[in-house]
Amino acid sequence: MPKSNVNVSLNSYDDIFSTEESRQEEQREQVQQIPIRELFPFKDHPFKVLDDEAMQRTVESVAQYGVLAPLIARPRAEGGYEIISGHRRQHAAELAGLETLPVIVREMSDDAAVILMVDSNLQRENILPSERAFAYKMKLEAIKKQGARSDLTSGQVVQKSKLSIEQVAEGTGEGYKTVQRFIRLTNLVPELLDMVDEKKIAFNPAVELSYLDEAQQRDFLEAMNDTQNFPSLSQAQRLKKMAQNGQFSYDVAFAIMGEAKKDELDKVVIKNDTLKKYFPRSYTPKQMEDTIIKLLEQWQKKRQRSEER
């Protein structure tokens, strides 16, 4: 058989193995030790990093064992790295005195980074309504940008918007409408949103109040403070309807918020400051309650004897 003029270069087994190993190494994400000073929070990060009891436990764990789960970050154009996942771990490490952190560095677009940032943080157990609201909104906007099209009819746009919100809801345990209602909370002024986080205003009334514009919300806030009442769902719904009909005003809000709620008609409330005037400082609320009940029982017996005469 005639020999081919083509030169065939045979690589050794070690050369082949090294080439394949290098190829896999390049594709595999590497955990790097990054100085803490080079790590920066995600822009408009909606999740709060609090110095609470849970953070203190995390600091103690980090001081003892280090940061076991690497952070995820992406390079910043101005230098350093933007944290996508791991803000609480970074803060705990800083408080524990660590100088470097294990980090997986990824090249990611803005929209992809937002989606990963939201999804990784939504796995936490305790999330405030405001955190959930702004996280859902950020993810929704990122999903819309990824699939933006200019050739859709109005009907298609509505359907696409619903599908986008359904994408936001995936993996959260929340339904499409619930996610939509959480996003409504981002329309509340900060003072009202704080009251939702503090559980002073319930979720459903808060959603109804989100349809008031900023000036109307400010008037409502003043009326609520003046009446010392928080809104029920029916009150919030009436205020929303008034606003939609162009009939909203501070006086209207004051009148509605000044109404006695159904569950308060059968309730007598005595402020602690009023009660404390009649009891020693050492008395607990339970001791005060027991004493009041005993006094009422004595008063009732005295009345009964008086009526029997």
| C-alpha gyration radius of the chain | 30
* pLDDT at 278 exceeding the cut of 70: yes
* pLDDT at 13 exceeding the cut of 50: no
| CATH of segment(s) 28-108 | 3.90.1530.10
pLDDT in tens, 160-202: 556 778 888 786 778 889 999 999 999 999 999 999 999 999 9
Angle between helical axes of 214-227 and 190-197 (0-180°, round to 10): 50
The backbone region for 251, taken as left when phi is positive above 0, alpha when psi lies in -120 to 50, beta otherwise, is alpha
Average pLDDT, the chain: 83
Task: Return the bridge partners of 101, or none.
Answer: 34
State the pLDDT at residue 169: 79
State the pLDDT at residue 107: 94
Q: Where are the domains of the chain?
A: 28-108, 110-186, 188-264, 268-295
pLDDT in tens, 22-50: 444 444 578 999 999 999 999 999 998 98
* pLDDT at 71 exceeding the cut of 80: yes
pLDDT in tens, 245-273: 999 999 999 999 998 665 554 456 676 66
- State the average pLDDT over residues 278-298: 85
State the pLDDT at residue 269: 60
State the pLDDT at residue 271: 62
Find, among 174, 203, 175, 178, the residue nearest to 188 by Cα: 203
* pLDDT at 75 exceeding the cut of 80: yes
* pLDDT at 151 exceeding the cut of 50: no
User: Are 80 and 43 within 8 A, CB to CB?
Assistant: no
